[in-house]
Structure 1
Amino acid sequence: MFFGKENQEQKQRKRAEKETITSLENTFGRTFEQLRALFEGGPSQLESESFGDYPGASYQGGLGINVWSLVFDIESHQFPRFLNLVREGSEQTDWLCFRRIENRNVSTLLATESRFRGVAVRMLSNDAQLIRRIETSDFNPAPPWIAMYEHGPFMHLTQGAEEYWDIYIWRRFWRGRTLEQQRAFLSKAREETIGYIADEQWADWMLEIRMSDPRTRTLD
């Protein structure tokens, strides 16, 4: 009985690993062997690096690749700044593939696509310094009044892509902010939206935003 359960868990783990490998190959347009070769010889203590909760980095050593993967969304107007951040101190060896000039064993590979009026970034990197700079560079997904403007401030999102955006993109970002960071974000956002969102409508958007975070639901 015990061995049967253990074998089943092993099969599920191998199936999950295979699906992850296939996803990486499809996302970055390279075979698994090519991905391994790209990051081979990187920092030996990479697994011991520690990163914050957002955008969140996942170590892929269990698959046999000494690299961290990140998946996050940013507003379209932030993409040039993000790309310049990745390029800084690096040379582009292939399309969306960058290698550190002073350390050629440190590389970053990107895959991007447009979605929800922003840019979805998928990234493989063994550059811990770069990942930390991304964490502190104030990148954010398109907020509700941009990504879901057509639904109005009191959004009733159906299952599918819209629900995915709400749970896995926006809420993951928003609940990862401190209350002070949220206030600063909204203050800046109001400056940017005042020309097309009236005060009454903005108040409705703010009510929806407040209700989306357990920490602010009971605030007056």
Structure 2
Amino acid sequence: MRCGSSRSKAFPRLASSRSTSSHRSRSRAANTRPRRSPSSWASCPRSQDEHRSPSARVHRGNQVSPVLSPSSRERVEPLRSPHPSSCSWAGAQPVSPQTGRRAGRRTALFLLYQWDLTGQPLASLYEGEPDEFATELAGAVSARAEDLDRRVTESSDEWAAERMGTLERNILRIGVYELEERTVPPEVAINEAVVLAKRYASDDAARLVNGILGKIAREEAAA
């Protein structure tokens, strides 16, 4: 009787222990399982919050030079972003409007990125009620793309605009445009471009953007 009694008391404790262990295991699995973003997010340029592979390096003789990574021209599969903005790549859903100047620049960057890759009209890449600031900025930058690229190339020691990744090139186009048009203070134009580069390209890209725009800002101040 004692043995049976002890067993009857032990079983509930054993079951409770197993249940708790199973619950903890499921909790740990849920915490470690990679988060799956909605398919509508898969079209956004990668944010630095997402996992990125190490920057590639190109060997040229005895010199080793970093490659801007991730270079938008080298991407072979859709990238995922944890940010719920419905930007799109070619063939994906068009861009939805954003609010605020920083979000407007981001939307303009996504539009210019798609326009640069596909050659489609900017209006066909936008969905919903247009964001006036974003569409005006993207339209003005695309209209002056050749002049802006020339200014970027002249101000870069190593990188011609056409050799840059599509994201980096269009971030610089936006920055140079705002510096030349003086729509915002120079430090704001540079900072906003660096923020975009850090978030959607790489630290190497951010340093390149900062250096080129800083040089152009000094030239504009002296003009």
TM-score w.r.t. structure 2 length?
Answer: 0.26
TM-score w.r.t. structure 1 length?
Answer: 0.26
More helix as a share of residues? 2
More strand as a share of residues? 1
* Greater RCO structure (CA 8 Å; 6+ sep): 2
